[in-house]
Amino acid sequence: MKAEKRIVVTILMLMTVVVVVAQDGSRAFGEVSLAANNAGMYVLGGWALANMAAGAYGWAAFEGEKKYFSQMNLFWNIVNLSIAGFALYSNYSTDLLSLGDGEIMTKHLKTERLFLINSGLDVAYMGAGILMRHLGTGSERRGDLLKGYGNAVILQGGFLLVFDIVMYFIFRDIRPAVIELTSALQQGTLHSGIRIAF
């Protein structure tokens, strides 16, 4: 009877260890995922602030195409700064302890997909900028505006394309660590060094 109790107690202890390791692993993964997202949002926010400052200066200092280029950079980066600020607020408000393993992974994969989708939109932005430049060459009245806005949209779309692709690959590279952890938990290899002698 004592041997049976020891087996039951040992099994319960092992189950507790596996659950704790899984929770710690998924929480650690969640922290890495949030840290990567935060770093990206700081880069986006820094880019936005620099462009807003340069845009405000250019809008006041220049005329013609350069004025409109600066104006669009300012407008565009108000949106970028808002996106970065909202994402940072959301990330810092996230309580990883209240999220389950699946929720943490779902949040990570959603963000990863968002960067991939956004990279497609960035190509569309650049195409729209090229179209504006083209339309500007044939317009006497709005030529400067269309060329200036077109150049700004090409610049911003190009930056965002590089940013979103880099962020997508960063998120994709983080992911395998959690998949390996899940696989190890399912196969029981995390506690393969524990030997029980009766």
Task: Supply the pLDDT for residue 192.
Answer: 40
- Residue-level pLDDT at 4: 62
Residue 48 is assigned to a structural domain of this protein: yes
Which helix (H) or strand (E) is 183 found in, with range? helix 143-187
Residue 113 included in any domain: yes
Give whole-number Cα distances, 173 to 16, 78, 80, 81, 178, in Å.
Answer: 30, 30, 25, 26, 10
- Identify the H or E element spanning 96: none
Whether 196 is covered by a domain: the verdict is no
When divided into structural domains, the chain yields a total of 1
Domain assignment of residue 198, yes or no: no
pLDDT-derived band at 10, boundaries 50, 70, 90: very low
Tokens of 135: 């339309």
Per-residue model confidence as pLDDT tens digits over 29-69: 999 999 999 999 999 999 999 999 999 999 999 999 999 99
**Residue 161: inside a domain, yes or no?**
yes
Q: Is residue 143 part of a domain?
A: yes
Any domain includes 69: yes
| pTM of the predicted protein model | 0.78
By residue range, what is the domain housing residue 83?
A: 2-191
Q: Answer yes or no: is 152 within a domain.
A: yes
Burial of 48 (C-beta count, 10 Å sphere; 0-12/13-18/19+): buried
